[in-house]
Chains A and B, each alone.
Chain A
Amino acid sequence: MPQIFHRSANGIARFVLWGAQVAFLLVILVWTGLVRSEFFTEVARAPRQPVPFSHRHHVGELGIDCRYCHGGVETSASAGLPATEVCMTCHSQIWTNADMLAPVRESLASGEPLRWQRVHGLPDFVYFNHAIHIHKGVACETCHGDVDDMPLMMRAHSLTMGWCLSCHRDPEPNLRPPAEVFAMHWKPPEDIERVRKSLIDVLGIDTATMTDCYVCHR
């Protein structure tokens, strides 16, 4: 009986078998890289907003404090977004006819709220609390980045669980005195290492209480 396959078929079969495994590994590698990439974590991407609100202008150039608009940040889980009224405290006086602000004026007139696109979104099973971070010396810019340099709001960090945990396991490098948490581009003093160590002590920060699952998931 003649051979069904030519001798070269051996080589092809080996190539296909090995090649399939290599391709599989490659797919996994690419995929795992992809989901961590900025394409998937949406870092540095600014969604289109109903009003092109510029943090660079309001924070960087005018120097408005974070808490003027995000009033819940010290007391609540949610930092909160300003009500239309808050925008209009100033914009009833300045730029009263700017086209850019027409949606804001319409919102106040009609009572229909503005609908902003969420930039820093967490899944529904994550219970993040702003207040505790603020009080324990984690600054706004630590997570939200150089907001005062963002013409449109964008993510500065991936907000993945691994990123959260890296700080919950070792918060020290990210701490600053609570009085400074709202400062932008804060320059750490010379003895920052000593300050951070004392903060851990004074603020009662204990990683044992920060890494349990229920701290964020419940």
Chain B
Amino acid sequence: MSATVDDRTPAAPPRSAFARGPWRSLDELAGSEELRRFVETEFPAFHRRLAAGVDRRTLLKLMGASLALGGLAACTPAQEIVPYVRQPENVVPGRPLFYATALRSGAYGIGAVVESHEGRPTKVEGNPDHPSSLGATDAVMQAAVLELFDPERSRTPLKAGEPASWAAFLDHAHALRDELERTRGRGAAILLDPVASPTLERQLVALRAAWPLLRLYRHDPLAATGLAEATQAAFGRALAPLPRLDRADAIVSLDADFLAEGPGRLAHARVFADRRRVRGPRDGMSRLYAAESTPTLTGAAADHRLALRPSRVGALAAELAAAVETLTAVGRPEAGEGWIAAAAADLVAAGPAGLVLAGDHQPARVHRAALAINARLGALGRSLALIEPSDALAADGGLDALVAAIGVGEVTTLLVLGANPLHTAPADLDVAAAFGRLRELVHHGAYVDETGRRAHWHIPAAHELESWSDVRGHDGTASIVQPLIAPLHQGRTAHEVLAALAGDVTPDALALVRATWRDALDDPAWGEALRAGVVKGTAAAPVDIPAASVPSVGDGAPAPGEGEDIDIRFVPDPWLRDGRHANSALLQELPRPLTKLVWGNAVLVSPALAARLRAEPGQMLEIALDGRTIEAPVWIAPGHPDGTVTLTLGHGRAEAGAVARMAAGYDAFRLRGSAAPWIATGARLALREPVQRVLTTQHHQSMEGRDIVRHASLAGFREKPDFAHGSPPAPDDTLYPRWDYPHEAWGMVIDQTACIGCMACVSACQAENNIPTVGPDECERGREMHWLRVDRYYEGPPDAPDTHFQPVPCMHCEQAPCEVVCPVNATVHTHDGLNAQVYNRCIGTRYCSQNCPYKVRRFNFVEHQDFDAPGLEAAANNPNVSVRSRGVMEKCTYCVQRISAARIAAQIANREIADGEVVTACQQSCPARAITFGNLNDPASRVAAEKAAPHNYALLEELNTRPRTTYLARIVNPVGDDGKTEEGGHG
């Protein structure tokens, strides 16, 4: 939809606008007419889709034909049963197997357990034993199976663009090897997409030993060097941080999005949420201060958030360090006015339980200040450990060094492993020209991408789920990556390509990985490492920091001028990363956590800046930096720092495949310079006339200013723990049928304090329940199919609002308005209280959705799946969930297939279903454990305990629908609150 903002509204909306509490978008705040029309249409823009041009005669013919053919639908076509020839050990058809492996996230791995049905991987779950996962997954991991079955993955080696065989490449590689043997590697280089794989490291070290003149370059477009430089300067070696949030009482983030970025984010979210779980007046919470240069999930979770230009974070860090220094000297921490004073006072009061984290993309001086504060607090080695980084393979430089080497003719043969520099290179490096001068360019990658197209040889990379490899987690723990399926196409691992180059005639990835671990793991230990998904005892030991080597804060940063200059903050797309996942429809259509944008990116600006520019959402903005310009549509982000724009990397890829081509979006790499890859200053903006379509799921299913998200401060909660209780009508105050639940009564509790809004649950739900993606045009009509949505509410002034997240699945009402209106009984109440949807009965009246107060039902307006000729991607479908056809309603089922599986297992054993035996997909993926599910009739169940929490409440309880899904009100822990429930909370 194209939303409009009135010229006068964003800058200074009348204060009365906030009187009705939380708001979800600036349009809603301004009460725009267009939004009202959009919201009031039950399924927006339906009239546009009504079949046009069908006259009465054609309609009658169609009706007659469908009547005549209707009976035939019951006929089952002849089917074949194809048993195994030799049935593999452990395989029982119909019973899934689970294998532990690890999936890459940046250079590091996150442990995963993958479900496999007769050799076909269908679903990724987190590995509870892996320190980077702790059982949780993120959206990108959930998309891994669909990516495996992406029909557009590279399928065959290409020689000069023409299909060739792996054997032909082996011949070629061996000729190349003979030459490199002679020249000891002169003129040859390898460009690495860095990955902390011990086997890859071993292979590269061996290659370099054999050919000393071989060069090695690293290119990670999402890496930053600030922390490495800071630790190098302070301790003489590069170190990686390992925050221990479980030990931290006061956390200060200096532009660090530790809940949503970085290889340890899932683990951080877990312990962060655990330290803030409040169930009674005596429970305590940690306190988070976040200063940030673009709205992030960490900022949304913070108790005190400060938005500032990215170039000012350095000055802020220096001031904070000075404040801590002063307060420590005085020895009497006392809160002053302002963010810095409050943060400094809390840090000093917490002492070793204080923690300051600096954003990876921030320059070294910010990291130096953060280290200095941590050292001063005594937090080093306590709430902040430092470890040797796992991917510390010595290289000859980055992409710029490579381009320079090619320029002077020192490199003529290049092997690119995994990277796609022709898309991800800084704009001021002419990589295309440099690569054009190469005598030979060999590219190894999953897609024939921008680099693969121009390479002399392209070797398809095997997907992670097809590969033997190994990878280290954020704390150094190693995992063996094991394949779930033999390569679907002719994909090869990087290990095999390197081994071929080293002269191996029949490279075998398993043998290569096993050889790496030959000494460390004997055969039983190897088997155990595969089973557990982690190699025991491989976590990096914290480095002992001598107190004497405490870094100095360093000189204060020069404060940038105010002026008209604009700061640019580059951020990776949360799902597409540097663009490598651009061809994943699941990820393209997964709403971004804060903006709720889908199928494209926009340039984020603050409401004040938009008002100054007189920019409407979607209007094109020209951004100029160092002589380069790009045009991008504007999106107004409440809480965005003024004088700054946020550009998202990873979009706008022309050569990534058919799915990526459907998406809109600009390519921010075209503006990014090599000197300042993350934070650029001195940009100029100019508004252009055209308006581009920017798609968002933000306005859909608006709840019209009711008392939806209830929240209080910790002090307010302690004073009145049941502040969230409303006054629901009496249970029997209803005309609806009454139900008894003599068996189980399934229920769910969602803790809004724990929820960080990361969208893992939505993607997990989509992967588990065969939920289709619908594409940008259908999204524009408000027809995305996600059974679970995460609503994002803002509260307060647009330039510094509070942000609340509320996941909304089906409420499974005990007195469900949907059930009574269905004319064909297609939505029915079950004995355990589910609102079951029967697809085969549904005739698509959509009355149920009309009557659902929570707007959680989704209708298949078009056929999203090809039933006659299913494509390769259909292999990712969960065999235990029906694939829905056009014209039927669907919605969250509480993962009824998992309930059924647990019930069958329990009934076979003749026992009750145990607590924790049924885990819904959203619950399983949640890094913060915000979702609890179970049997309400079991008083000992975890969900019953959660329901008994004093701040448990039901959405729209005044309707007396008696939802089974309820919420725990959000509790924040701001400093110095007066003990009153916050405005907007239920009073």
A residues in contact (CB < 8 Å) with B: 31, 35, 40, 47, 71-72, 75-78, 80-86, 107-108, 111-118, 121-125, 127, 129, 131-132, 135-136, 203-204, 206, 208-209, 212-215, 217-218
Q: Is B79 an interface residue (CB 8 A)?
A: yes
| CB contact under 8 A between A35 and B71, given known A107-B85, A113-B85 | yes
Known: A116-B80, A203-B910, A218-B881. A129 touches B86 (CB 8 A): no
**A217 proximity list for chain B (CB < 8 A):** 838-840, 882
Interface residues of B in 914-938 (CB under 8 A from A): none
Q: Which of B76, B93, B896 contacts A214 (CB 8 A)?
A: B896
Mark contacts of B48-81 with chain A using CB atoms, 8 A cut-off: 1 yes-contact digit, 0 otherwise: 0000000000000000000000010011101111
Q: Across the interface, do B908 and A83 meet the contact criterion of CB distance under 8 Å?
A: no
Given A83-B86, A113-B84, A136-B907, 17 further pairs, Cβ under 8 A = A35-B74, A75-B95, A84-B84, A85-B84, A116-B81, A116-B82, A116-B83, A118-B78, A118-B80, A124-B883, A127-B900, A131-B904, A132-B907, A208-B742, A212-B831, A214-B830, A217-B838
* Chain A nearest Cβ from B68, distance in angstroms: 11
Is B80 a contact partner of A84 (Cβ separation < 8 A)? no
Which residues of B (852-882) have their CB < 8 Å from a CB of A? 880-882
Cα-based distance from A206 to B830 in the complex (angstroms) = 14
Tell me, yes or no, whether B559 is within 8 Å of chain A by CB: no
Interface size of B in residues (CB-CB distance below 8 Å): 43
| B87 contacts partner chain A, Cβ-Cβ < 8 Å | yes
A85 touches B93 (CB 8 A): no
Contact of A114 among B78, B83, B828, B838 (CB under 8 A): B83
- A121-B79 contact in complex given A135-B908, A212-B836, C-beta closer than 8 Å: yes
The answer to whether B903 has its CB under 8 Å from any CB of chain A is yes
- Cα A185 to Cα B83 with chains together (Å): 28
Residue of A nearest to B740 (CB): A208
Q: How far is the CA of A125 from the CA of B881 in the complex (A)?
A: 8
Instruction: Tell me if B141 counts as interface (CB < 8 A to partner A).
Output: no
> Can you identify 30 A-B contacts, CB atoms within 8 angstroms?
A40-B74, A72-B92, A72-B95, A76-B94, A78-B94, A80-B83, A80-B92, A81-B83, A83-B83, A84-B84, A85-B84, A108-B85, A113-B83, A113-B84, A113-B85, A115-B82, A116-B81, A121-B79, A122-B76, A125-B839, A127-B897, A132-B908, A203-B910, A206-B743, A209-B832, A212-B831, A213-B828, A213-B836, A217-B839, A218-B880
Q: How far is the CB of B593 from chain A (nearest CB, A)?
A: 30
Closest to A124 in B: B882
Binding site for A on B (CB under 8 A): 71, 74-76, 78-87, 92-95, 742-743, 828, 830-832, 834, 836, 838-840, 880-883, 893, 896-897, 899-900, 903-904, 907-908, 910
B-chain residues with CB within 8 Å of residue A78 when the two chains form the complex: 92-94
In the complex the two chains form, what is the Cα distance from A55 to B329 in whole Å? 91
CB distance from B770 to the nearest CB of A (A): 11
Distance (whole angstroms) from the CB of B907 to the closest CB of chain A: 6
Expressed in whole angstroms, the minimum distance between the Cβ of A51 and any Cβ of chain B is: 12
Which A residues are in CB contact (< 8 Å) with B742? 208
- Complexed CA–CA distance, A123 and B882 (Å): 11
Q: Return chain B residues, CB-CB under 8 Å to A218.
A: 880-882, 893, 896-897, 900
B882 contacts A125, CB within 8 Å?
yes
Task: Tell me the bound Cα distance from A77 to B87 in angstroms.
Answer: 17
Asked if residues A80 and B85 are in contact (CB atoms below 8 Å), the reply is no
- Nearest to B75 among chain A residues (CB) is A40
List the count of A-B residue pairs having beta carbons below 8 Å apart: 129
CA distance A179 to B907 in the complex (A): 16
| B residues less than 8 Å from A31 (CB atoms) | 71
Q: Which residues of A contact B840 (CB under 8 A)?
A: 125, 217
The docked-state distance in angstroms from the alpha carbon of A31 to that of B72 is 11
- Tell me the bound Cα distance from A107 to B839 in angstroms: 40
Listed from nearest, the 4 A-B pairs whose CB atoms lie closest are A78-B94, A76-B94, A81-B83, A83-B84
How far does the alpha carbon of A218 sit from the alpha carbon of B908 in the complex, in Å?
A: 20
Chain B residues with Cβ below 8 Å from A127 are 880, 897, 900
> B87 and A85: CB pair below 8 A?
yes
Contact between B880 and A75, CB atoms less than 8 A apart: no
Q: How far is the CA of A177 from the CA of B721 in the complex (A)?
A: 55
CB-CB under 8 A from B893, the residues of chain A are: 214, 218
* A-side contacts of B95, CB under 8 Å: 72, 75-77
Q: Which residues of B contact A208 (CB under 8 A)?
A: 742-743, 831
Q: Point out the residues of chain B lying under 8 angstroms from A111, CB to CB.
A: 85
A45–B176 CA distance with the chains assembled, in angstroms: 65
The verdict on A209 contacting B831 (CB below 8 Å), with A31-B71, A83-B86, A218-B897 known, is: yes
B738 to nearest A CB, angstroms? Answer: 15
- In the docked arrangement, what's the CA distance between A98 and B269, Å? 66
How far, in Å, is B833 (CB) from chain A's closest CB? 11
Give chain B residues whose Cβ lies under 8 Å from the Cβ of A122.
Answer: 76
With both beta carbons as reference points, the residue of chain B lying nearest to A211 in the complex is identified as B831
Question: How near does chain B come to A203, taking the closest CB pair, in angstroms?
Answer: 7
* B83 and A84 form a contact (CB under 8 A): yes
Give the nearest-CB partner of B78 in chain A.
Answer: A117
Chain B contacts for A80, CB-based, 8 A: 83, 92-94
Q: Are B92 and A214 in contact (CB under 8 A)?
A: no
A117 to B836, CA, bound (A): 34
- Nearest chain A CB to B791 CB, angstrom units: 27
Q: Which of A82, A123, A131, A204 contacts B83 (CB 8 A)?
A: A82
Q: Which residues of A sit under 8 angstroms from B880, Cβ to Cβ?
A: 127, 218
Q: Could you tell me the distance between the alpha carbons of A40 and B95 in the complex, rounded to whole angstroms?
A: 32
Bound form: Cα–Cα A71–B91 in Å: 11
A206 vs B741: C-alpha distance when bound (angstroms): 13
Q: How far is B84's CA from A82's CA once the two chains are assembled, in angstroms?
A: 7
Q: For A47, list chain B residues within 8 Å (CB).
A: 78
**CB-defined contacts of A212 to chain B, threshold 8 Å:** 828, 830-832, 834, 836
Nearest chain B CB to A74 CB, angstrom units? 9
Contact of B85 among A71, A83, A116, A123 (CB under 8 A): A83
Q: A76-B95, A78-B93, A218-B880 are in contact. Are A83 and B900 (CB under 8 A)?
A: no
- In the complex, the chain A residue whose C-beta lies closest to that of B831 is A208
State in angstroms the CA–CA spacing of A125 and B882 once bound together. 6
Do B79 and A214 touch across chains, with their CB atoms under 8 A apart?
A: no
B811 to chain A, nearest CB (A): 17
Separation in Å of the B874 CB from the closest CB of chain A?
12
> How distant is B36 from chain A, measured CB to nearest CB, in Å?
38
Residues of A within 8 A of B85 (CB): 83-85, 107-108, 111-113
Residues of A within 8 A of B828 (CB): 212-213
Residues of B within 8 A of A114 (CB): 82-83
**Alpha-carbon distance A112/B831, docked complex (angstroms):** 46
CB distance from A171 to the nearest CB of B (A): 13
**Alpha-carbon distance between A79 and B882 when the two chains are bound, in angstroms:** 20
Distance of A205 Cα from B86 Cα, bound (Å): 37
Q: How far is the CA of A208 from the CA of B832 in the complex (A)?
A: 9
Task: Kindly list chain A residues whose C-beta atoms are within 8 Å of the C-beta of B79.
Answer: 117-118, 121
Q: Kindly state the separation between the CA atoms of A206 and B840 in the bound complex, as whole angstroms.
A: 25
